[in-house]
């Protein structure tokens, strides 16, 4: 008889798992490589609609979203996660990661902003910091 464990895992927040929402293949390529090297789990999608399905299943403790998506933007992502019982932290990625975006993002509840092109060292710093904070939020 098969163990129910795998099915249950989908409904539990996974430590060191993130959801990437970006229409840009380069973002996926860089983060996929980084996550693979670190042994972390990365869920990937290019649009808000499929991201919402994954978010409902609480698969990740961090969401990395492109600032502007084909059918929405980072504020739509933030709005979608804030209604969840245990909302993941939101990190915004943008080629225009200036002081205005950073201040607006933090004031509205995002965790951080990643400048693009994504640098591996900076991504590691932000993700490690976010996972530490996320772990403290739900203990």
Mean pLDDT, range 109-119, rounded to an integer? 96
Phi, psi of 87 (to 5 degrees): -70, 135
pLDDT at 46: 95
Give a yes or no: residue 33 inside a domain: yes
Contacts for 1 with CB less than 8 Å, ≥ 6 apart: none
- Fill in the DSSP letter of residue 117: S
Identify the residue with better confidence: 9 or 94: 94
Q: How far apart are CA 94 and CA 114, in angstroms?
A: 7
Q: Which domain holds residue 126?
A: 10-133
Give a yes or no: residue 1 inside a domain: no
The CA R_g of the chain, rounded to the nearest whole Å, is 14
Give a yes or no: residue 108 inside a domain: yes
Instruction: Give the sign of the dihedral formed by CA 2, CA 54, CA 21, CA 88.
Output: negative
Give a yes or no: residue 138 inside a domain: no
The model carries a pTM of 0.86
Each residue of 59-79: pLDDT tens digit?
A: 789 999 999 999 999 999 999
Give a yes or no: residue 5 inside a domain: no
CATH code for the domain of 41: 3.40.50.2300
Give a yes or no: residue 121 inside a domain: yes
Residue 135 pLDDT exceeds 90: no
Length of the chain: 139
Give a yes or no: residue 82 inside a domain: yes
Specify the number of domains making up the chain: 1
Reduced to 3 states (helix: H, G, I; strand: E, B; else coil), residue 13 is coil
Give a yes or no: residue 2 inside a domain: no
pLDDT at 85: 83
């Amino acid at each position: 008889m098969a163990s129910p464990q795998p099915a249950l895992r989908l409904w539990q927040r996974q430590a060191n798992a993130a959801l990437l929402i970006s229409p840009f293949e380069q973002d996926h390529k860089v983060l996929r490589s980084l996550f693979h090297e670190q042994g972390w789990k990365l869920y990937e999608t290019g649009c808000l609609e499929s991201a919402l399905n994954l978010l409902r299943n609480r698969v990740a403790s961090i969401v990395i979203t492109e600032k502007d998506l084909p059918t929405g933007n980072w504020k739509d992502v933030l709005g979608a996660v804030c209604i969840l019982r245990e909302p993941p932290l939101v990190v915004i990625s943008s080629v225009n990661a200036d002081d205005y975006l950073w201040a607006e993002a933090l004031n509205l509840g995002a965790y951080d902003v990643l400048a693009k092109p994504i640098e591996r060292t900076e991504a590691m710093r932000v993700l490690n910091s976010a996972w530490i904070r996320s772990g403290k939020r739900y203990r």
